């Protein structure tokens, strides 16, 4: 029996186990939305209020569920509105398949209404893209899209389908893609490298593991713990690696990078061996690379060969999936312990606690500090919630103070630093893990970039908690202006709307906390609420996030004040 | 102790040299754009580019010549290798390849009126006369850029070059390799799925 291309698309998606799509209709994708009308029992489509909301939601969905996130958008502006999210998914290795409608193939290149060369525009920010102009291609291309998006180092794929290809009929047959001769997502592990790495590990006296998102993406959490416990090596996490290891693990020594913990940053230059797993030595982690890991040999476990030796020269590179590499490495290493070395980290923690943490969480001032809010939420939820952050000071404070206890619980825009990410990503996360508590933590700047998604949350009754840490400033930029631009606060102060009235307008329960005495009660009420809830916490206006490695300086120069 | 970062590359890897990239790809529209974006993003100018079919049906070869440092170009090659439709990208220095370019010179027929001097030059350079028309003659020379340029310079003295065009470099590696065997090997590897 012949079916239209649009229906073939939906059947293909179902074959790929897709049951949730985030999207926004429009002229060039109408045949697909028409077909969707007949598939409402099999596919849950969430109508966002902006295509950027759809793609960030798909990202949040993917990051908590491990599934491929899917979104629909129409041609022209619909497609271009996806681009920020696609770039975000590319740099943060999130598997996404975007389906965009396109003008009929005979109109391509004529500047037709809502025509835009989305293939050209998305080329640098997708793992793969393809334009379908013939409905016969649909099953094969969709199966390829899913295979490419989720295999190896995951990433976003965009498939543009012309309107005529959506209409014309085909005989539907589906075969899952298992191989592409020019694409080799899982490099064959080199056992010589494994042996060399094991030797370096056994010989080291001050080794350190850097945990990246690759551990989460390859589900290597268990293997990582086994590796760390057998070798006795302390583990530090990158921003996107957070939650791969429970913050309560005895070998966990904290969070790396510009606003990370004191210990793992300064110890980077004291350690004699770095074992980097599924991370890419981002400049926010390394600071000045010429003064990074100066005493250390480097083992890099990385699935993407182009990341090896890109920033930091390795002594041994294991080009493989993180789980596979750890499974191979664990039997090769000796049982060992590094208690004195780990104790050195704990000494650093004490210093950081005294200089920063104590003052922040036991704040004696009148104004609420971001850290005390996050610390309370971390304690009340026992580190078991999914935390979705936006970009800026609140993001760094959350990364520092939320003590993650379960994997795939830290959803944030790391590489691209996309403000506006958190609210839609949290919706997607809640849909991806409906049984878990999802808390979006957002600044007053970021929430206004995608605030329209409150309507999606209300319409689809997505029980996501929204916490605004509101200082009426673009806080991170203000902090830099204070520290590095002579207090010249150029366009960082914000005169904000009343977020509670806005929330009322969207019919979302809400509360505001302005005084410290009300904070505990408000957080409890916020966490107890079964439905979505927006909590607007007015925090200290000019707070700085410390520790801080000033941009371009050595990690050793981390400032505590 | 010195650091291990990108700023610590060996001086030999920083030296700007001419490199030739030979990239075998699936024959797919848009791939040229995909590849050039990678150079553009790093502000590397492409000196010459040639795309052609190979002896294997459906497989294309891009030959790209750039001036770059080893450190930079290796990362470009790694990035090109990441493109889904790229079968393999190879980096060569000049001594590792056989390479040629082709140049066409449209000469005004006037300059042949000055005795046989121009003909002698053409013969000296091993150039070939392609077409003789009433007003102009087209000659062709293959060789390195230096060689075709040198002929250009000689002919230019007569003020009779009407038009000139030079192709991109085509190159084959000196290594013993057969494209079809390379492809067979690619098809055999079990790197399509996780083997755990």
A4 pairs with which residues across the strands? A169
Per-residue model confidence (pLDDT) at position A1: 86
According to CATH, where is 3.30.70.260 located in chain B? 12-92
* CA–CA separation, A204 and A338 (whole Å): 10
CATH 3.30.70.1150 domain position(s) in chain B:
99-170
- Structural domains present in chain A: 2-171 (3.40.50.970), 191-344 (3.40.50.1220), 363-538 (3.40.50.970)
What pLDDT is attached to residue B177?
81
Q: Give pLDDT, residue B9.
A: 62
Would you place residue B110 in the very low, low, confident or very high pLDDT band (cuts 50, 70, 90)? confident
Q: What pLDDT digit, counting tens, does each position of B62-101 carry?
A: 999 999 999 999 999 999 999 999 999 999 999 999 999 9
Per-state percent for chain B, helix, strand, coil, to nearest 5: 35, 35, 30
Quick check: bond before A547 cis, omega within 30?
A: yes
Complex ipTM: 0.93
Chain A interface residues (partner B, CB cutoff 8 A): 119-120, 123-124, 127-128, 148, 151, 178-188, 286, 288-296, 298, 304-306, 310-313, 321, 323-324, 327
When pLDDT is cut at 50, 70 and 90, the band that residue B7 belongs to is: very low
Is pLDDT at B3 greater than 80 in this prediction? no
Specify the 3-state DSSP secondary structure of B62.
Answer: strand
CB atoms within 10 A of CB A254: 21
- Chain A closest CA to B144's CA: distance in Å? 32
> Of the listed A67, A127, A144, A163, which one is catalytic?
A163
Total CB pairs under 8 A between chain A and B: 104
pLDDT attached to residue B195: 81
Residues whose CB is less than 8 angstroms from the CB of residue A41 and which lie 6 or more positions away in sequence, other chains included? none
Structure tokens at A298: 């480097």
The domain covering B99-170 belongs, at the CATH homologous superfamily level, to ACT-like. Chain A, domain 2 (3.30.70.1150)
On whether the CB atoms of residues A138 and A170 are closer than 8 A, the answer is yes
Is A148 within 8 Å of B84 when comparing Cβ atoms?
A: yes
Helix (H, G, I), strand (E, B) or coil at A384: coil
Cβ atoms of A327 and A223 within 8 Å: the answer is yes
List the single best residue of B2, B4, B181, B183 to mutate versus A (max A Cβ within 10 A): B4
Exactly one of A30, A114, A367, A494 is catalytic; name it.
A114
Q: Is-contact B40 B66, C-beta < 8 A?
A: no
Mutation to test the B interface, candidates A97, A109, A182, A552, most B Cβ within 10 Å:
A182
CB contact under 8 A, A186 and B84: no
Contacts of B4 in chain A (CB under 8 A): 289, 292-294, 296, 298, 312-313
**Is-catalytic flag, A476?**
yes
The pTM of the full predicted model, rounded to 2 decimals, is 0.96
| Third-level CATH fold of B12-92 | Alpha-Beta Plaits (3.30.70)
Read off the DSSP letter of residue A25. -
| Choice among A4, A7, A22, A51 that is catalytic | A51
SS3 state at B161:
strand
Q: What is residue A17's three-state secondary structure?
A: coil
Q: How far apart are CA A362 and CA A375, in angstroms?
A: 10
Closest alpha carbon within chain A to B59 = A182
Looking at the complex, report in whole angstroms how far the Cα of residue B132 sits from the nearest Cα belonging to chain A. 41
CA pair distance A439, A421, nearest whole angstrom: 13
Site of tokens 């005979």: A106
Q: What is the DSSP string of A145-183?
A: HHHHHHSSS--EEEEEEEHHHHHSEEE--------BTTB
* Active site annotation includes A11: no
Note if A114 is an active site residue.
Answer: yes
Q: Which residue has the tokens 């038009």?
A: B163
pLDDT grade for B8, boundaries at 50, 70 and 90: low
| Predicted pLDDT at B2 | 42
Task: Please state the separation of Cα A31 from the chain's center in Å.
Answer: 32
E strands present in B10-132: 16-26, 46-53, 59-69, 86-92, 97-108, 128-132
> Which helix (H) or strand (E) segment is A481 a member of?
helix A475-484
A51 is catalytic: yes
Which residue, among A77, A75, A9, A67, has the nearest Cα to A39 in the 3D structure? A9
Residue B1 has pLDDT above 50, yes or no: no
The closest of A413, A408, A407, A310 to A90, measured between CA atoms, is A413
What lies within 8 Å, CB to CB, of A353 at 6+ separation is: none
In the residue annotation, A360 being an active-site residue is answered as: no
Q: What is the pLDDT of residue A476?
A: 97
Please give chain A's pLDDT, 561 residues, in tens: 899 999 999 999 999 999 999 999 999 999 999 999 999 999 999 999 999 999 999 999 999 999 999 999 999 999 999 999 999 999 999 999 999 999 999 999 999 999 999 999 999 999 999 999 999 999 999 999 999 999 999 999 999 999 999 999 999 999 999 999 999 999 999 999 999 999 999 999 999 999 999 999 999 999 999 999 999 999 999 999 999 999 999 999 999 999 999 999 999 999 999 999 999 999 999 999 999 999 999 999 999 999 999 999 999 999 999 999 999 999 999 999 999 999 999 999 999 999 999 999 999 999 999 999 999 999 999 999 999 999 999 999 999 999 999 999 999 999 999 999 999 999 999 999 999 999 999 999 999 999 999 999 999 999 999 999 999 999 999 999 999 999 999 999 999 999 999 999 999 999 999 999 999 999 999 999 999 999 999 999 999 999 999 999 999 999 998
Please check whether residue B152 is in contact with residue B103, taking contact to mean a CB–CB distance below 8 angstroms: yes
């Amino acid at each position: 029996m012949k079916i239209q291309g649009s229906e073939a698309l939906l059947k293909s998606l179902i074959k790929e186990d897709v049951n949730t799509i985030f999207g926004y209709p429009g002229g060039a994708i109408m045949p697909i939305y028409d077909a969707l009308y007949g598939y409402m029992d099999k596919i849950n489509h969430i109508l966002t209020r902006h295509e950027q909301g759809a793609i960030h939601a798909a990202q949040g969905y993917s990051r908590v569920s491990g599934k491929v996130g899917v979104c629909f958008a129409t041609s022209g502006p619909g497609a271009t509105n996806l681009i920020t999210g696609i770039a975000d998914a590319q740099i943060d290795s999130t598997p996404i398949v975007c389906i965009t409608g396109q003008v009929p193939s005979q109109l391509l290149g004529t500047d037709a209404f809502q025509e835009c060369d989305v293939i050209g525009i998305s080329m640098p920010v997708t793992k793969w893209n393809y334009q379908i102009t013939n409905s016969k291609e649909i099953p094969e291309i969709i199966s390829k899209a899913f295979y490419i998006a989720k295999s190896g180092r995951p990433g976003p794929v965009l498939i543009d389908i012309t309107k005529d290809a959506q209409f014309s009929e085909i005989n539907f047959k589906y075969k899952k893609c298992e191989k592409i001769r020019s694409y080799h997502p899982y490099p064959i592990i080199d056992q010589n490298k494994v042996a060399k790495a094991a030797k370096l590990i056994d010989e080291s006296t001050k080794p350190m593991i850097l945990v990246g998102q690759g551990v989460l993406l390859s589900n290597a959490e268990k293997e990582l713990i086994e590796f760390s416990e057998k070798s006795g090596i302390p583990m530090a996490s990158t921003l996107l690696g957070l939650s791969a290891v429970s913050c309560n693990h005895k070998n966990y020594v904290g969070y790396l990078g510009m606003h990370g913990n004191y210990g793992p940053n300064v110890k980077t230059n004291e350690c004699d061996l770095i074992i980097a797993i599924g991370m890419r030595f981002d400049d926010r982690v390394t600071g000045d690379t010429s003064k990074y890991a100066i005493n250390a040999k480097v083992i890099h476990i990385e699935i993407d060969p182009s990341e090896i030796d890109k920033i930091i020269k390795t002594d041994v590179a294991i080009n493989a999936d993180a789980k596979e590499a750890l499974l191979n490495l664990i039997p090769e290493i000796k049982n060992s312990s590094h208690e004195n070395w780990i104790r050195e980290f704990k000494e650093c923690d004490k210093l950081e606690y005294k200089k920063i943490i104590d003052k922040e969480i036991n704040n004696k001032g009148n104004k609420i500090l971001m850290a005390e809010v996050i610390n309370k939420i971390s304690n009340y939820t026992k580190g078991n919630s999914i935390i979705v952050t936006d970009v800026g000071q609140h993001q760094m404070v959350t990364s520092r103070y939320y003590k993650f206890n379960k994997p795939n619980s830290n959803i944030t825009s790391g590489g691209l630093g996309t403000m506006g990410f958190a609210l839609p990503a949290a919706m997607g996360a809640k849909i991806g893990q409906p049984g878990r508590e999802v808390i979006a933590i957002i600044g007053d700047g970021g929430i206004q970039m995608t605030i329209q998604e409150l309507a999606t949350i209300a319409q689809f009754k997505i029980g996501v908690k929204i916490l605004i840490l509101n200082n009426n400033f673009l806080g991170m930029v203000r902090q830099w202006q204070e520290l590095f631009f002579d207090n010249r606060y150029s366009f960082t102060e914000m005169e904000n709307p009343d977020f509670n009235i806005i929330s009322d307008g969207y019919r979302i329960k809400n509360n505001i906390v302005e005084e410290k005495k009300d904070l505990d009660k408000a957080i409890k009420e916020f966490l107890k609420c079964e439905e979505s809830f927006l909590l607007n916490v007015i925090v200290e206006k000019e707070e700085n996030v410390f520790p801080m490695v000033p941009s371009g300086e050595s990690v050793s120069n981390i400032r505590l004040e | 102790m010195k650091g291990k970062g990108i700023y610590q590359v060996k001086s030999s890897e920083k030296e700007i040299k001419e490199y030739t990239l030979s990239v075998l790809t699936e024959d797919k529209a848009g791939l040229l754009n995909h590849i050039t974006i990678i150079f553009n993003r790093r502000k590397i100018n492409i000196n010459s580019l040639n795309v052609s079919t190979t002896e294997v049906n459906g497989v294309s070869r891009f030959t790209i010549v750039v001036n770059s440092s080893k450190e930079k170009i290796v990362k470009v090659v790694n990035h090109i290798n990441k493109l889904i439709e790229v079968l393999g990208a190879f980096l060569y220095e000049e001594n590792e390849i056989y390479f040629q370019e082709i140049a066409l010179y449209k000469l005004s027929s006037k300059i042949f009126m000055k005795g046989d001097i121009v003909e002698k030059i053409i013969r000296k350079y091993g150039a070939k006369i392609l077409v003789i028309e009433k007003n102009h003659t087209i000659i062709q020379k293959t060789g390195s850029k230096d060689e075709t340029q040198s002929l250009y310079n000689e002919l230019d003295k007569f003020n009779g070059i009407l038009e000139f065009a030079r192709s991109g470099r085509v190159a084959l590696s000196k290594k013993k390799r057969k494209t079809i065997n390379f492809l067979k090997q690619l098809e055999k590897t079990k790197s399509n799925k996780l083997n755990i």
